[in-house]
Each structure stands twice: as structure tokens, then as C-alpha cells.
Structure 1
Amino acid sequence: MSLGKSPGVAGSRALSPLWLAAFIAVPLHAQTAPDTAPAAAAAANPDDVEDDEITVTAQRQRGTVLGDIAPEVQLGPSDIRAIGAGSIEELLAVLAPQTTSGRGRDGAGPVTLVNGKRISSFAEIRTIPPEAIERIDILPEEVALKYGYRADQRVVNFVLRERFRALTSEVEFGGPTAGGRSSYEAKGNILRIRKGVRMSIEGEYTIDTMLLESERDILPVRLRRPYDLAGNITAARVGDEIDPSLSALAGTVVTVAGVPAGAAGGAPGLPSFVPGANNANVTDISQYRSLLPETRALKFGGVYAGAIGDTPATITAGFESTSSESRLGLPAVVLVLPAANPYSPFSVDTTLNRYGTGALVRSSDSWTGRIGTAINGRVDTWNWNVTANYSHSESDQLTDRRLDLLAVQNRILVGNTSLNPFGPQAVTGALVQDIAKSNTDVADADIVTNGSLFALPAGDLTATFKFGGSARSIGSESRWLGIYNTTSLSRTQGNFQGNFDLPIASVRNDTLSAIGNLSANLNIAYDQLSDFGTLRTIGYGLTWRPIDSISLIASATHEEGAPTIQQLGNPTQVTPNVRVFDFIAGTTVDISRVDGGNPTLVADNRRVFKLGATIKPLSGADLTLIANFVDSHIDNSIAAFPTATAELEAAFPGRFIRDGEGRLLQIDNRPVNFVSSDRQELRWGINFSEPLEPSKAERDAAATRRAAFEAQRAAGGAPGAPGGPSAAGSRGDRPAGGFGGPGGPGGGRPGGRGGLDGRLQLSIFHTWHLQEQLVIRDGVPVLDLLNGSATGNSGGEPRHEIEARAGIGKNGLGARLSVNWQSATSVLRDPTGATTSPDDLFFSSLATVNLRLFADLGQRRSLVAKAPFFRGSRISLGIDNIADARLNVRDREGVVPINYQRDIIDPLGRTVTLSFRKLFF
């Protein structure tokens, strides 16, 4: 498949389905692959888990999702262990290429289920250790409809072991190889699963230290005014002559003069300014500017999943607190120095440009408390679920803006002899600070039911109905330039969603079996919002499985969506000294950036079409080919305000403030509605997994251990049995309910395969962006993000992106390699190509390679025999961005703009992380 320039818009719309059809038309083995499931009695011990998979032909796997859509990817215990992750959250991060959807809003993550059932929220399972997972199913977006969700997120179903008990602890330390920043993390989780009851308690604390510009090789921005700690003299308008008398002494026209050393101690004479004539003092302020803030975060929570009578129910609660601090540079001071001031040697009024002492700081503190519940039940053939959640969040932000030197300026103007403008008192004053506070409350509840309406020749017509409601409120307060603004918004929402699956052909029921299994889907949704009225969604599609190894899905969705209450009502925040590239002037400048909510946003209207295929071409091999074509059109699309390109400033002139000389001073970054956006992409790839058989020596050692165990059992001395070794030190069965009880850590059959089998995993996904266009205003040219336009500081949209993951694990040793690559982009003043500009920017392609090495020390039997503490422990070494790769940005002259220096684009670069993890059974 060529990776060259895609056809035009009209052509790509016509050809895209044909490309997908050509991809599907490959030679296939039509044999039916048997369903597999992990052995139900396998132990959950991470050291001695049974990897054997048992073929199941008479019944569905435990924890299977509703409906007949098969998983695109299914991971068993050995696959999960080979990843080397420490929690479900880490697993999802690794599996991101397989769980990414091109249909959702704002890059939302996948829908998560547990044992095929809805949960209150992802926070309920975030820290569950992978050792407690029996199976992971990754399914397409259409499965989300069966659970009352919209069809814009993929579905990940975690099937947990029936018995598990352990305390998981982990400590981690790391930082960039260039130094300057350190990261620390400590977390723990206590989990017990037994007889349908799941209990867990979790805690986590993280620290990331501040990274300063002085700790990287960064060239400073050239400022319009020559600020300095000692000071520089200019005319009222920078660039004009300061004083003819000074020019006469210097023998040239003087437009800037550095304040001489010693001026703070008394009135300097005019000749003392001659050495600094046209030679400004310069202060390196890189130690007062942070590239990355210092952050601290604390999280803890708990989950109890049991039953109310015979009805499974879960309650979860948690608390999160985060604080951060960043440095924004030194406060700039401009003082008028009259000629009559006793400390001025000049014959005319001049201007003194100085820095105040002490960095401007932004500090942020926020916390969130949450509580949720999920109840699942069944009445006849109908499943039902109730979920309810409530959360309260508060955030406070304080930003130093400038020094209040009005009183100082007045004293200078009246010629107060006790105040030397060149001394420290002249830059001493109260800080003027901006504040931004917000309180957010969210409460929601959903009732979802799924079952069969009536029987048809090809199977049952099934339906899912969801009735829900939510109440959201946000109160915000901000003070900006001394002006107070308060916002109080609330939204109540009621919604109904119906989903209907109609079987048309069925091999099992011998109805039109010649064409395989075919079903149709129709889904509708109504949302009544207190502030936006009624929003409607309708979707429809077909799922066709001509043979067991091929699954095809075609679907379309028409949806109206309101902006979030945060997009409407977040408090206004102004950040000074933000470094941006001004595409009009072709220079890097420090500006003030305005963030917050925009109460004038309107609802969007989106249409999404998807054509997808999942193919398993080889019987008996764990190889899956996946392809999805997505075409979306959005009217009134909502987005954060883009960067300062000429096209965007022409469309939104009120969002940019410039001075009389055209210098950019401020950008209003609050979200806006664009007229429309159009996007097409083809995303396709493969998933492959292959077991690695143990060597003959490993098999012989396992057989010896099994024989010894059987002999001990025959003699009545099996571990845990009367006369045998104590349970506390054995690896055999333990009394039910204790750590390592049957099916939990410590279980398993000595002499079994015991994790000796390894696993090789490979996934490669290619995203081909066929169309990325925006209409930002009527009458304004279309922004083609694939051909010279941009909405962000990182260039346009890459036409091609590749995500590759490879992993191998055996005998407790493992490695995982991830590669992300994107093609080059550009930002042109004239994207039509009719003219060129020296300020056109070209962004290189970028490939980042990450490596993770880990050793499950508990599987090293000789080590555990010598030091039992290492049982259930793992040590990991992670290296992110091995090649220290960054975007390479240059203009047409080959010059790197200051804002695109490599250490500004990516301050971290290569990072190394070392972690130690242990399960206590």
C-alpha cells in the first residue's frame, strides 16, 4: 500500500471502502477456531500460574459480554504477564493502540467492564493488579451500545479470577538522563476476591520536582524592552534616542544604555553611562522560569463488591488531591525617570527598564472526592444494572502578575530624595495576583436493562434500554487585572437510549446459513438538557460474520452534543510570559494567555460512518488483522482555541491583541465553535501472540518437581496437609480464605508448567489520515491540516502514524518495546502553495522508542529458595525515548525558531525509571 499523498477529498470518499475491501480479500483458512478459556481451576499465583488453555465448545466463556460480537483481541494470563504491567491502569496504557477509537469526543478512553458487567466508574478497578485478571477482551464500539453507552468508545472487558488475595506494593524512582527533574511514586493495593465478594483498598503518592530553563540548553527570547536586574535606560519609545547629551559623549546616537555598576549607591553621572551606551545589561532569567512544574498528588480509595441478598452490588469511594507550582519569570518594571529627579543625569525624561527580584509563581491546589455504586441483577431473561455516582471537586489557582509600584513611581516623579530609582527600593512592592477558583458537583444515575423481546427464525430480537439523569453545577470566581468575575452554571439532564439488535441470518439456527451470521442494529437516544433543550442521536449498522474467521461491521451515527459545563463555565485564568511563535511576525514572543470557559458555545452536530473488519486468517494461530475506516463530519465543532497562524487571526481578530507596532501581546485561548470539520482515516493493523515452549531442561525440572510433590502427597505429607510443611512456608494449597487459598496466590500444582512457557507478542497499527479539514468561519478559506494549515504549536496533522508494540517474556524475564512514529508536517503562510514565505515552518517526522525490561524474581526458584522475600516480587527498568528524539522544526532558511528549540518542545527527552514491586500473599 502506497504511503504517498492521498487522493483528493471526493476521490478518497469514493475509494476508501474499496481499499478496505481489497485489504479484506486475502486468502483465508475457513476452519472454525475453537473457543478457548483459561483453566477454571488454575491458581492465581503470579509465580506458578497455570498457563494451559482448555478448549470449551459447549458453553460461553465466563464473563463474556452481551451479544454475539466476538472480541477483536483476547489476552490470557500468560499474555497479561508478558506485558509486565503493575495495574489495570498501566495495562490500558500499554494496550492503547488496540483500544483507540477514532469516533469519540476529546480522545476519551475505552468503556471498561468487569466480568461482562457495567461498573460504577474506571476508578473502581484502576489499581487492580494484573495477577488478578483471568482474561482481557477488547471489542469494537458497537458493543458499548449493548451496555447503554454511545458507540464512540471501544470496550475492554476484564474477567477477574474467582479467587485471589494479595497486598501489592510498588515504589518507583526515575528522571531524565539530562537531569534536572526527579519523579517518585509509592503505591499499594490490598485486594481479596472470594465467593463473589471483592474488597480492595488502595493508596498512591507521587512527586515530580520542578524543571527549570536553566537546567536545559535554551536560548532566551529577545524582548522588546531591555529588562535587567540592574536596569537599562531607553527613551519612552524603545529605539528612539535617549538624550542628545549622552549621544554627544558617546560619539553616536544612543538608544539604550546599561545602568552602571554602583548606581544603586548614589546618583550616577552622565559619563558613567557611556561604557554601557548601546550595550544593554542582560540578566539570564532562565532560573526563574520553569519548563515543568513541581507537582504532588495523593490518591486513596476503597471498593466493596458483594451482594444485597442475591443481587450483586458494589460501592466505591475515593479521594484525590493535587498541588503544583511553576515559575513564570521575573516581574518586569517600567519606571518613568524625569529629568528633574535628583538621581537622573539626563537632560530629558527617560525610561528605566528593570526586573523585580523574586520569580513570579503560579500555584494550584485541587481535590476531588467521589462515591459510586453499581448493582447488577437479572429478572427472567432480562439483565439489569443500576449505577450512581457523585463527585465534588474544588480547585484554587493563584498567579503572580506584576509588582504594584504605583507609589514608587509617584515618589520618583516628585523627586523624592530618599528613593534611588536604581536601588532595590524601586522594585519593592506588593505583588498583584490573579485568582481563579471553582467548585464542581456532579451527580448521575443510570438504569440499564438488556434482554430478549421475542424470538425470530435467526434468533432473538434483543434490546437494551437506558434511563438516566444527571445534575451538574459549577461555580467559579476569578480576578483578572483587578476585575472580579463570578460564574454559576448548573445543568440537569434526563436521557433515554434504546438499542435493538435484529438477527437476520444464523448458522446455528440454520436461517440463511449460506451467508453466515448477519444482524442489524438500530439505536436512538434523547437527551433533555436544561440549558440546551432536546438533543437527539440515531445510529444504525450491520454486523456480518460470513465465516468464523471474518467479522465485518458497518455503522453510522448522527449525534447532537452539547459543550461540557466546564467548557462553558471554567474560571478565567491569565498566564503571563507564555512563549509562543507568532506566525504573522515570524518571531517567538512572550505573551499573556487567557484560558477558561466560554458561555457562548453552542451544541455541535456530528455524523460518523465506520466500516470495520476483523480477520483471523490462520486456524490455530493467535493472529488477528483489524481495519477500520472512519468518516466524520461535525457542524459547530468545539475546540480549544488554536495557535496564532495568519489564517486563524484573520478569522478571529478579537482573540489577538497587538501593540501599535504589531507585536503580539495576548491570545484568548478559551474554546470556540468552528463552522465545521471533516475527517477521514483508515486505521489498520495486526495483533499476534505466540507461546514459547519450555526447553527440555525446563520440562525435566518441572517433571521432577511434580514427581516429588506426588510422592509427598502419597505419603500424607503434602504441603498444607497434616504432617506436611506449614502453610506459611509452602507453595501448595492452603486453607480456604487464607492468603494463597485455592485459586489464589500460593495455589497451583507444583511440577506443573508453572510459568515456564514464555510468550511473544506483537502489534502494529497504522493510521492513515485521509482528510483533516476545518472551516473556522464562513467566507474564510478551509484549513487543510494535512497540507500546510495548523491549529496547534506542534504543526499540522501527520498524514501517517504508526504504533508498534513488541513483547517477550519467559521464565520470569521479559522485555517490551514500543515505537511511535509520525510523518512530517508543515505550517505555511499561504497553504495554497501560490506563494512562499521565509517564515514557513517545517516539522520533521518523529520516532520515539521506549523499552521496558523486567524480571519476576519470584519465578527464579533458586533465588526464592535462598531469599523467600523475593517471592512475588518484580524489578523493572524503563527507558523512554531511547534515542532522545525530538521534533526538528526549521523555517525556509533552515533556522530553528526560539520557541521550537528541542528542550522546549520536549524538556524531558530520554527518561529512565526503576521500580520494585512485590505481592505479599
Structure 2
Amino acid sequence: MRSLPLVSLSALIAGLLAVPAQAQDVSFDESADSLADNGEIVVVAESMRGQVDAPQPPLLVLDTKDIAAYGVGSLQELMEVLSPQTGSSRGGPPAFLVNGMRISSFRELRSYPPEAIEKVEILPEEVAQRYGFAPDRRVVNFILKKNYSSREIELEYGQPDQGGYSEKEVELTFLKLDGPNRLNINAEFNDSSMLTEAERNIVQAQTSLSDIPSDPSQAPYRSLVNDSNEVEVTANWSRKLGDAGSSLSVNGTYELSDNRSLQGLNSVRLTDPDGQSVLRNFGAADPLEKNRRNDTYSLGSTLNVPVDEWEVTATLDASLAKSRTETDRNADTAALEAAALAGEFALDGAITADTSNGYDTARSKVYSLGSLVTAMGRPLLLPAGEVSVTLDAGYSWDRIQSRDIALLSEDSVQLTRGDLSAGANIAIPIASRREDHWSALGDVTLNLAGGVNELSDFGTLTDWSAGVNWGLTESLNLSATYIAEDAAPSLSQLGDPQVVTNNVQLYDLRNEETVLAQVTSGGNPALPKQSQRDWKISLNWDLPIMERASINLDYINSHTDDVTASFPTLTPSIEAAFPDRVTRDETGRLIALDQRAVTFAQQKQQRIKLGINLGGSFGENDDAAGGGRPGGRGRPGGGGPPPRGGAADKAGAGRSDGAPGKQGANAAAGENGRQSSENQSANAQSGGSEANGQQSEGKRPERSEGRRSGGGRRGGGGMGGRPSGGRWFLNLTQTIELNNTILISENGPQLDLLEGDALSAGGNPRYSAALRGGVFYKGYGLFTSGKFSGKSHVSGTVSDLYFDDLVTFDIRLFADLGQREKLVEKAPIFENTRISLKIDNVFDARQRVTNGEGEVPLRYQPDLVDPTGRFIGVQLRKLF
């Protein structure tokens, strides 16, 4: 039965392959062909400026019209909709390049409109190591248009179809691209109103109900969606330095967010002289609140300098994040309880006691400074090709200062970490069809990498990896990599301020009841370093069945010791392992839970991740297609980073992105981008390109071996003409968890997360999938996305919790009004204007959770699991 989801998805793909598409044959400019001395036909395939040159082929390539079919309004939104393709099988976030070069952080270009992008390449984790990134990150390379300028205003409004709250967004963007020179200014404001439990008719837990009918209910004073607003201002500047190809970029960002939540009412249990007892709720005029404010200042810079035959990139990223959380204290009810016990206050009397008792305060300041210098070159020529070498060295410094002020206590924590790092990556070509060296083997490259981090608080951490990449044919590629790395917990995990929140709704599996309990969160200074050992085996296959079709298959086998993790779902096994984290009253009812991070002795995981990418063009074409399959998965030649003056722009248009340092040591530096938003704005307008392909200096001509059509490496050809018709695409990603077990302690119990044990409140499904599909034609577009999460269960003391499978679909419709000529003639303001409609969770689906008797626990009421449901939004986007 476990194979059923995979069979169903395969059947879906088989049906979709019947979609008619106009296939394009790969063609080359005849002028680029020449005869070698031996009469062999040589085809010179021009490489696009800024394209990544590595043995591993891209997993996905998108051109301007492909991007337009997603209907997004910024690169931030594009990354959100591409998250299934950019997410690593090993769990790391994507690393970013611009024109094949590192940048200081994604802040440099996340607000860019998609019209500024000529092409997007998504590459596997092995390529990340060539640019000094950790091996658990896929790479996204943005190739910018040489010349582009726009001013943009974007307005968005949305709310659930049930009402209750709304979201509003205003964004202003200026961008000017002039070759290697860039200037971008962006300002954004977001606001979300509050949604309470009363507005969703949430049934209250028995333990929170007053025994006096006239007392107020908790529901109107407990928030499901918090009242929040965010402001962000970003400036990015980049300039060419001289004529040698050097460049400098600087970016700065300020972010402010305010968040207010309601935590319910004060409660007190009163007992009279006769021993009769009642629970009372009071203080509706002054409910318990939690208020949080975050201020973040960020600054980044990138210097790119060619040195002889090496490309040297230096990145600097600094940030200061300040946080203040104020949590109302429960009212002092000692006098009220004493009066009732003495018979001086009736159990059902009106409670007028003062509820004001001050608030607990948690403050933190997090300082981060990271620098990294990366040198990429090809110092040695072997019979199979050039050896690619990447060297990196850097230093990062982090400090967290936190202070907790409670009624009877005050604690302060200051932690500081310095991290001196160095690393190297080398790619050695073993066999090559292009160089005619052991060509019967295909293209074989050996990859070796190693690094060391010297941390001031954790000592020496090491990482190394070894892998082989085997290009069996032009369209079929296999790779295998072994990765060993140490990682230290972040300073936030160690030293975040302790925050105590009252009246948090929890489900107690031991007693099978929903309770309101006190929850503690914050840092845990006792966390150790972890050691991880992974095998990753991948297959990438460019299918010859349609204009664009490819399969990506990853197998991951991971073994980790001393695993740092968030506190898991409170199951009987977890309570037995961490008894000091759980507080119960004399009746056994759960009243408090410490949810600070914990350490497990060991975790073993095995998973398969399958990606299927389909796409093509349709409709009328202005020109014959040229330069290869549009949007296809290219196979850029060679082995490694672009040579000076080659695929990277000689004018230095590229930069670099990423956190300095290795995974775990300081993965946050330079990658603290905005969190992904569920309300992804809809819009993109395709524009003309001035980024014509340039032949790379020093690149060898690629030999067709007699195949005049399709013999070259696809994806690396010249720009040529583009079809003016429409585009369609379908991307499917499925993950199958084969094994996921955790050993709590050396001699403790083992948890099987796929067979009833759990770390999260939603169980651990064996199967999950994500679908993205869209079509764009003559200014009209449709984008849809879907998610599938399989069934799971969590074992309890009396009975288990069962989580049904869940399927959700989102849809976005958009229209480029500027392409409606008659409309523009009547109202010129609609020139370069796009209007969009989005519907998230189209079928208002919610996961159903039941206990062993088929009943839905109060904690898992549908509107508690998902208070939003179907969400409808409209967006207006105008370019000037």
C-alpha cells in the first residue's frame, strides 16, 4: 500500500505527457561551425554571460517567459514558488549567485522585479561547494539583463472568505541596471489585523470554562492570528571599478516589526469556608497580552577582483537585531482567594479586583559580522580538461546579549563566538568526451572538499566531502557524494532570552485532554556540537520526449550524533525521557511545559526526493527557435568556475551571496532574508533583453561528433530568437521518507518517527509532494500550486492521534493590461499595469485529526489547525 502515492503521481505525469507541445530542434548558427584539420565538424556553442560552468548540469533553467508564467512580482516571491526545486534534499536553504558570482546576501536582489532577469539556473548541492558554500544547499544563479530600468508600485489586499482579519501590502521599488552598474531602492509595508477564537467559534477546553455563567468566555480574548505590521527599507548599489573587471557592491536594510497577541483572561479558583470550589474568569477590560518588537539593521558588501587567472571575491555581511518582548503577568489573586475562604466574598460575586500586575520583559541584541574571501581558478590542465580549484578563508563574529526581567527574578546572558574558517574545493576531470580522453566512459569528474572552523566557544570543527560526477551521455548524469561535517548550535539556540507564556493550548496525550498551560521558550546553554555523516546519490535525466522534460532523483542516507532539535511533541516517550521539562498538578493535569531546545543522542534518516519538470511553448512564433531548448536543463561544459573573462561578465556584473562560514558554525550570517509569506504576490511582465550571448574567452570549441543537431551541450547556446507565443510548465516534487529514527540517549529508548513517535504536533508523514504549474499567453496567465501530505499517527498512552492526508491547491490569475491595445488607447494609465487575483486553499481543505475513538480533540479543531482556510487576495502592480 505504501507505493500507492508514487503510483498515483506517476499516472498523473503519464497523463500530462499527452499535452500537445511544439517541440523545437536544437540548432546552431551555421557561421559558428568550422572544419577542424582532420575534417571533423566543430560546433562552437556560445556560452551566455554569467552562466555557471560546472560538470553538474542545472536541475532547472528558466528564461524570461518561463519566469513570467509564474506571475510573481519580485525575486523574493519567485523563490517562494520555486521552493520545492530550490530546497536541498539535505535540508539547507538555497545559496545565491548573480551572473555566476557570489554576493553578500540575498538582500542585494530579492526586491528586483522579475522583468530584470534574463535567466535563472537552479543547480545541485555539489556546485555550492565550488563557490565556498556548505554542501547542503542548492544554488540559484540569476543572470541579469545588461540594461533595464523601472519604477514600480504594488498594492495588495487579501482576507479569508470567512472574514475575521485582513492583510494589506504596499511596496515601492526603483531599479536601474546599466551593465555592471546597479542601483535598487525598495520600501515595503505589511499589515495584518487580529483574528480571535470567538470569530471562529472555537470550543473552549473544559479546564478554561468558568463555573459561573455570567463570567466572560476566554474565546474573544485569545488570538488565532496576531495583530502585526512590518516596515522594510532596502538600498543596493553596485559599481564597476576600472577596466580590469573589478566591481564593488554595497547594500543596507532596515526592518521593523510589531506583533501583538491576546493570551486570554485571568482565572482564579475560589473556595468558601464550606469547601465548595469554583473556577472564575475575570478581567475582560484588561486581557492578558504579549507584545513583541523587532528592529534589524543589516549591511553587506561584495568586492570582485580578477587576479591573474583567478576570480577573487570578498564578501562582508553585518547585522544588528534587537528584540523586546513584554508578557503580561497573571493578576495577584491572593487577597481574593483569602476573602472567599474567610466567607467575606461570595463565590459568584462580581470580581472587581485590579488585574494589573506588570509584565515580564525579555530583551535581546544579536550582533553578527561575517567576512569571506573566495578565490576560484583553473591552475592545471589535464588530458581530460582543466582542474578547478576554489579556496576560501574568512572570519565571523557573533554576540548575543539577553536579559529576562520577571516578577521575582532577573537574569542576563552574554555569549560571544569568533569563527576563523578556511576551506578548499578541487574538481579533477578524469574522463571527457569533449577532450577525447577515455571518452568511452563519458564525462567523469572527481570532487574533493575540506574545511576547518576554529570556534572560540566550541573549539575545532571540521568538514570534508568526496564525490564523483558521471555524465554518461549528454542528457543523463549520475553523482555520488559522501559528506562529513561538524556543527555547533547557534548562539540563539544557546542564549535566546527565556520567555514564559501563559494560557497556551496544548493537547496532553497522556490524559487525552486539551489544557491551557504555561510554556517556557528560549535558549539552552547546555547544547553540544553535532556530527553528521551523509551519503547523497543523484540522477539527472534530460528526457527527449518533449520540448522540455527532465527528472531529478536524490537518495539521502544521513547519520547524525548529538542532534540539536526543538522540543518535540509531548508524547509519553518524550515525557519519560525529559521528566524535568513537564510539570503536572496533584491530579496529574499538565500545567507547565519547558519547550527549550534539547539534544538527542542520534538520528538516522533515509529519503528519496523525486523532481519532474515539464514545459514548453505554444502559439505563434516570430522567429525560428535558436540556441537550444528554451528553459531547458542546460549542460554547461567544462569543470568548474568561470575563467576570467569567460562565463562571468568581464565587467564584473556578478557578485556573490551566502553566509560566510560553514554550516552550523555561523550559517545565519548573510542569509537572514525575509521569511517566506503565504500570500505570494502575483505578477510578472516579460521584457526584451539586451543580454546577448558572448563567446567565452579561452573556451574550447565543443565537438558535435558528427551530430549537427543536438550534438552540443544544451542550454549553453546563443540567445537567438525567442518564440512570441505562450509558455506552459509543470513541476512536481515528491519526497518519500524511508527511515527516520531518533535515539533519545545512549541507553535510552529509540523513537521511530514514521511509526507513531513524533517531534512535531502534526506527526511525520511518509509521503509528501508539491506541484507547480502555469501557463502564460499574450499577457494572460494562470499559476497553480498544490501540496500533498500523507497520513501519519502519534502514539499516546490510552489511544493514538491519527492525522488524515491533506491536499491543498492555490491558484493565481493575472492579466497584463498593457497588452490590451484598445484599453491602453482609451486609458493610457493601464500601460505596464498588471492586475492579479489569487485564491489560496481553493477547496478550503483542513487536516482532520482524530483519536482512537474517531473523535476530534479540542486542540485539533479544524479552525485551530488552520484558522485562515480559503484566502482571497487582489493585487495591482504598475511599472513606470
Task: State the partner residue of 1:85.
Answer: 72
CA distance in 2 between counterparts of 1:893 and 1:33 reads 60
CA distance in 2 between counterparts of 1:859 and 1:184 reads 27
Query: C-alpha deviations, 1:531-565, integer Å up to 9, x for none?
Result: 00000101010011121111111101000000000
Task: State the partner residue of 1:197.
Answer: 181
Unmatched segments (≥5 aa) in structure 2: 7-22, 30-41, 623-686, 692-719
Query: Do structure 1's residue 504 and structure 2's residue 437 form an aligned pair?
Result: no
Q: Measured at CA, do residues 94 and 391 of structure 1 come closer, stay the same or move farther in structure 2, by a change above 3 Å?
A: same
Query: Do structure 1's residue 529 and structure 2's residue 529 form an aligned pair?
Result: no
Whether the aligned pair in 1 keeps the contact of 2:55 and 2:469 (CA below 8 Å) is: no
CA distance in 2 between counterparts of 1:329 and 1:354 reads 9
Q: 1:777 aligns with which of 717, 723, 745?
A: 745
Q: CA deviation at 1:772?
A: 1.2
Q: CA deviation at 1:312?
A: 0.8
Deviation larger for 294-303 or 752-761: 752-761
Amino acid paired to 1:170: E
CA distance in 1 between counterparts of 2:348 and 2:769 reads 58
Q: Equivalent residue of 1:328, what SS? A: strand
Query: Do structure 1's residue 793 and structure 2's residue 761 form an aligned pair?
Result: yes
Query: C-alpha deviations, 1:336-386, integer Å up to 9, x for none?
Result: 55x4xxxxxxx5686673423321000000110011100112112111100
Task: State the partner residue of 2:697.
Answer: none
CA distance in 2 between counterparts of 1:208 and 1:891 reads 34
Q: Measured at CA, do residues 56 and 437 of structure 1 come closer, stay the same or move farther in structure 2, by a change above 3 Å?
A: farther
- Larger RCO (CA within 8 A; separation ≥ 6): 2
Whether the aligned pair in 2 keeps the contact of 1:505 and 1:519 (CA below 8 Å) is: yes
Q: Measured at CA, do residues 314 and 74 of structure 1 come closer, stay the same or move farther in structure 2, by a change above 3 Å?
A: same
Q: 1:490 aligns with which of 401, 404, 416?
A: 416
Whether the aligned pair in 1 keeps the contact of 2:278 and 2:347 (CA below 8 Å) is: no
Query: C-alpha deviations, 1:219-272, integer Å up to 9, x for none?
Result: 110017x53xxxx5xxxxxxxxxxxxxxxxxxxxxxxxx4xxxxxxxxxxxxxx
Q: Equivalent residue of 2:69, what SS? A: helix
Amino acid paired to 1:398: E
Query: Do structure 1's residue 325 and structure 2's residue 265 form an aligned pair?
Result: no
CA distance in 1 between counterparts of 2:250 and 2:5 reads 53
Whether the aligned pair in 1 keeps the contact of 2:788 and 2:805 (CA below 8 Å) is: yes
CA distance in 2 between counterparts of 1:516 and 1:546 reads 5
Task: State the partner residue of 2:143.
Answer: 159
CA distance in 2 between counterparts of 1:288 and 1:214 reads 8
Task: State the partner residue of 1:359.
Answer: 287
CA distance in 2 between counterparts of 1:379 and 1:429 reads 69
Task: State the partner residue of 2:90.
Answer: 103
Query: C-alpha deviations, 1:170-191, integer Å up to 9, x for none?
Result: 0000011111010000001100
Q: 1:305 aligns with which of 211, 235, 238?
A: 238
CA distance in 2 between counterparts of 1:474 and 1:123 reads 22
Task: State the partner residue of 1:137.
Answer: 121
Q: CA deviation at 1:35?
A: 8.9
Q: CA deviation at 1:865?
A: 2.1
Task: State the partner residue of 1:296.
Answer: 229
Q: Measured at CA, do residues 422 and 432 of structure 1 come closer, stay the same or move farther in structure 2, by a change above 3 Å?
A: farther
Query: Do structure 1's residue 873 and structure 2's residue 841 form an aligned pair?
Result: no
Query: Do structure 1's residue 172 and structure 2's residue 161 form an aligned pair?
Result: no
- Within-5 A mapping of 1:757-776: 757-776=725-744
Query: Do structure 1's residue 70 and structure 2's residue 57 form an aligned pair?
Result: yes
Task: State the partner residue of 1:912.
Answer: 872
Query: Do structure 1's residue 842 and structure 2's residue 802 form an aligned pair?
Result: yes
Task: State the partner residue of 1:215.
Answer: 199
Task: State the partner residue of 2:843.
Answer: 883
- Within-5 A mapping of 1:112-511: 112-223=96-207, 227=210, 232=211, 258=212, 283-310=216-243, 311-335=246-270, 337=272, 339=273, 353-357=280-284, 358-406=286-334, 426-511=352-437
Q: CA deviation at 1:67?
A: 2.7
Q: Equivalent residue of 1:863, what SS? A: helix
Q: Measured at CA, do residues 872 and 36 of structure 1 come closer, stay the same or move farther in structure 2, by a change above 3 Å?
A: farther
Whether the aligned pair in 2 keeps the contact of 1:404 and 1:432 (CA below 8 Å) is: no
Q: CA deviation at 1:891?
A: 1.2
Q: CA deviation at 1:776?
A: 1.4
Task: State the partner residue of 1:718.
Answer: none
Q: Normalising by the residue count of structure 2, what TM-score does the alignment of the two structures yield?
A: 0.83
Q: Equivalent residue of 1:427, what SS? A: coil
Q: CA deviation at 1:139?
A: 0.3
Q: CA deviation at 1:335?
A: 4.5
Q: Equivalent residue of 2:859, what SS? A: helix
Whether the aligned pair in 2 keeps the contact of 1:324 and 1:364 (CA below 8 Å) is: yes
CA distance in 2 between counterparts of 1:613 and 1:334 reads 64
Q: 2:816 aligns with which of 834, 851, 856?
A: 856
4+ long deviations beyond 3 Å:
31-37, 55-58, 280-283, 334-337, 347-354, 405-416, 419-426, 740-744, 752-756
Whether the aligned pair in 2 keeps the contact of 1:405 and 1:428 (CA below 8 Å) is: no
Aligned sequence identity (%)? 35
Q: CA deviation at 1:779?
A: 3.1
Q: CA deviation at 1:66?
A: 4.1
CA distance in 2 between counterparts of 1:546 and 1:631 reads 24
Q: Equivalent residue of 1:482, what SS? A: coil
Whether the aligned pair in 2 keeps the contact of 1:333 and 1:427 (CA below 8 Å) is: no
Q: Measured at CA, do residues 637 and 34 of structure 1 come closer, stay the same or move farther in structure 2, by a change above 3 Å?
A: farther
CA distance in 2 between counterparts of 1:35 and 1:630 reads 38
Whether the aligned pair in 1 keeps the contact of 2:215 and 2:282 (CA below 8 Å) is: no
Task: State the partner residue of 1:579.
Answer: 505
Amino acid paired to 1:571: P
Whether the aligned pair in 1 keeps the contact of 2:24 and 2:547 (CA below 8 Å) is: no
CA distance in 1 between counterparts of 2:382 and 2:202 reads 70
Which of 1 and 2 has greater Rg? 1
Q: CA deviation at 1:782?
A: 1.6
Q: CA deviation at 1:307?
A: 2.4
Task: State the partner residue of 1:818.
Answer: 785
Q: Measured at CA, do residues 448 and 409 of structure 1 come closer, stay the same or move farther in structure 2, by a change above 3 Å?
A: same
Q: CA deviation at 1:815?
A: 0.4
CA distance in 1 between counterparts of 2:378 and 2:721 reads 43
Q: CA deviation at 1:4?
A: 5.5
Q: Equivalent residue of 1:637, what SS? A: strand
Q: Normalising by the residue count of structure 1, what TM-score does the alignment of the two structures yield?
A: 0.79
CA distance in 2 between counterparts of 1:407 and 1:623 reads 74
Q: Measured at CA, do residues 565 and 56 of structure 1 come closer, stay the same or move farther in structure 2, by a change above 3 Å?
A: farther
Q: CA deviation at 1:619?
A: 7.2
Whether the aligned pair in 2 keeps the contact of 1:811 and 1:860 (CA below 8 Å) is: no
Amino acid paired to 1:302: A
CA distance in 2 between counterparts of 1:840 and 1:759 reads 48
Amino acid paired to 1:149: F
CA distance in 2 between counterparts of 1:881 and 1:887 reads 12
Q: CA deviation at 1:407?
A: 5.1
Query: C-alpha deviations, 1:64-86, integer Å up to 9, x for none?
Result: 12433221111111101111110
CA distance in 1 between counterparts of 2:542 and 2:688 reads 38
Query: C-alpha deviations, 1:262-288, integer Å up to 9, x for none?
Result: xxxxxxxxxxxxxxxxxx666422111
Q: Equivalent residue of 1:223, what SS? A: helix
Task: State the partner residue of 2:559.
Answer: 633
CA distance in 2 between counterparts of 1:896 and 1:868 reads 56
Q: CA deviation at 1:426?
A: 4.3
Q: CA deviation at 1:404?
A: 2.4
Task: State the partner residue of 1:539.
Answer: 465
- Name the Cα RMSD after superposition: 2.6
Q: CA deviation at 1:621?
A: 2.2
